[in-house]
Chain A
């Protein structure tokens, strides 16, 4: 049922594609543009994912497992880019580069790769840090005692334990890049999403449809590849009971300086550049007449619709996540993968498919916030499913069996054992979804009730007409509001509480 709702846009896409193919013939659908766009989109996804894995795992390790000075501060800083929407970062970079050298055009493939990597590496960093904090240090100690040095232990034992978390995070990054629209549009990189959006904008639904279909195919390939590399049935939970000790910290010694410099550089690029750029424009923005009431109503709209979206998403994600974690098998794998699919579709496609769905199936919902909340749920289900599944692994089935043998019904067992154990993970999922809803742009543009402006749509509107000063207050607010759930997320990941000492 939950998965079914998430598949609405796909069904729409399939129906329309078949319709078009019947009218025009399949060969007519593929032009020279498709392979070029496909190559560029895939290359961008690959480069950004690789960059995110290196940055994410590297900073997670430095923050949680070494004696790096200021690691608690860096633990927080490394998660904060989540609060900077990719299109804000892209705009801030363009503006910043423009300040330094007005003639240098900061655009194209590598500019997009840099900005997207800096925006999305927390998707790898956060789960990796959580695993590093929670992993049983005994396995690493055993490896050391078997004669493996600290580096070989890191690559042979620690990284292996990180694998599921990094794979899930990397998959999210790749899907995020494939579906990102704002950053690539601002940085003038021609990818599928930008092409789809411009075709739709010009009322050319047929080529947009073709591109969206190829994008779905690429997503399927990506998911299949990830499944193939994942070792089946491998569980990375700690074997045995007792209580865990915190891992001993690696002494960096002479590497301290370079490590510190590397982390500081990443933070400066990911946070410093947007911050400087925003602050420079912010002063001019707030002094505009009438801006305060405009800003506050947009804020209220953003928070309200994002809360509704997060609630709906979790409602759908809970059964899927639990099923995936508890009943490993072909059925749950298919369900899990299916829930990922819509995430890779551009928000434009989701948005338009739900417009279609709203007008034809549920006219009462059309032009209400509920349809937008549904779009959020469809878009961000994978985020929530991943978090719920990871949380469910914190409540091993043995505990539920013991609880049932003590005479509690399954529903009571869920309430008294499973739920308390997984609720921290659920909280993290809710925060992540809320945060992402706040940042969502294309679907919001298409599905918001007429006249409803959110922070994101106002920011977009001002940015597209090069009103940098007018856009700055929205960007700053968006970043500030999104920083709250980011903070929650970081403290849940244990980077804060266990990062010190």
Chain B
């Protein structure tokens, strides 16, 4: 178990800058997620940490060992940083046990470590199988077991669940997190799926255009996003124009309480779960029309057009609200204080 420190890392390919000064700190034993849209440089960051790419500037430290920096490039095999690639990349000519044992010394192979990690990922007894005899999810479990087997201080996961179906993904996420915890490994997960990042990680770093724009615990990144872009990227959000004065903000949804925020014009963040939907547009409620309804079973997401202009979405959970349909007129109320970002 070791901490990871990335400081000021720059990497470009010709005229394309993939990383423009990345700073990231992951304490020992923590599972961190690097979350960002496609092409933001998150996979490049992973490859730089693993040692497959040389840095143009900056440095990478694993534990107390500097592995990359000015004039220093430790080759991948000496970094003790294991990687789980997107598609698993199992060695097709080796059995499951052979794959898992690949990074182990002779003594460690005999010590039963292979069976131990296979059990850890829920594949006890699969050692003799060949990779092509496994399902996609099982292959990915083997890839995780192979990475964990030599007890690396740091494990990197490159969108390891993106090729799997939703049900399998949720189950595998839980199992992989348990396996990582059980082994005490520090891990960095790269993903573009905000649900995956928020649910799996102890710490989330949001990346955009080759830079980390915000890092912190999932609840903090979701609840106090650094700017409107992060707010929109980490979850469903309605961004409305507003004006802040005296602790309240005037918006198309009425005057709402806000925490802090400098007076003046601002962008107001309203999360769907903050919006309460009343069957009738009565009293203090703001009138709106339902334009779309996405039903998920356990809840439903409504898209709403405000009479005063602007659009918001609302998440509704109770059975009564599920009767609502597109085209219906309703009243809206906002629960709790909202966040504002000065323009």
A residues within 8 Å of B by Cβ? 240-243, 396, 398-399, 401-410, 413, 416-417, 420-421
Contacts and interface: CB of A to CB of B under 8 A. Distances in A.
B252 to A, nearest CB: 44
B11 interface: no
B150 A407 contact: yes
A405 B146 CA distance: 11
Most buried by B among A240, A404, A417: A404
A492 to B, nearest CB: 15
A213 to B, nearest CB: 40
A421 B51 CA distance: 24
A396 B149 CA distance: 22
Contacts of B50: 401, 405
A404 B89 contact: no
What 3 A-B pairs are tightest by C-beta distance, nearest first?
A406-B103, A241-B87, A243-B132
A402 B52 CA distance: 10
B136 A242 contact: yes
Interface stretch (B72-80, B299-307, B317-325): B72-80
B71 interface: no
Contact of A409 (B77, B82, B91, B147): B77
Contacts of A405: 50-51, 76-77, 79, 81-83, 147, 156
Interface residues of B, number: 33
B85 A406 contact: no
Interface in B11-38: none
B70 interface: no
Contacts of A396: 89
Contacts of B83: 401-402, 405
B139 A242 contact: yes
Contacts of A416: 102
B119 interface: no
Nearest to B78: A407
A416 B93 CA distance: 10
B163 interface: yes
B93 A406 contact: no
B218 interface: no
Given A242-B136, A404-B77, A407-B80, 19 more contacts: A240-B87, A241-B87, A241-B90, A242-B139, A396-B89, A398-B85, A401-B85, A402-B85, A403-B91, A404-B75, A405-B50, A405-B51, A405-B79, A405-B81, A406-B82, A408-B77, A409-B77, A420-B93, A421-B92
20 contacts: A241-B89, A241-B163, A242-B136, A243-B132, A396-B89, A401-B83, A404-B51, A404-B76, A404-B77, A405-B77, A405-B79, A405-B82, A405-B147, A406-B82, A406-B150, A407-B78, A408-B77, A409-B77, A416-B102, A421-B92
Contacts of B76: 401, 404-405
A403 B143 CA distance: 11
B88 interface: yes
Contacts of B81: 405
Contacts of B102: 403, 406, 408, 416
B66 to A, nearest CB: 18
A53 B133 CA distance: 36
Contacts of A420: 93
Contacts of B163: 240-242
Contacts of A240: 87, 163
B225 to A, nearest CB: 33
Contacts of A399: 89, 91
Most buried by B among A243, A408, A413, A421: A243
Interface string B152-178: 000010000001000000000000000
B242 interface: no
A405 B76 CA distance: 5
Most buried by B among A243, A402, A404, A410: A402
A458 B88 CA distance: 56
A403 B76 CA distance: 9
B85 A410 contact: no
B218 to A, nearest CB: 27
Contacts of A406: 77, 82, 102-103, 146-147, 149-150
B57 to A, nearest CB: 23
Nearest to A243: B132
Contacts of B132: 243
Most buried by A among B81, B103, B131: B103
A241 B77 contact: no
A398 B85 CA distance: 8
Contacts of B136: 241-242
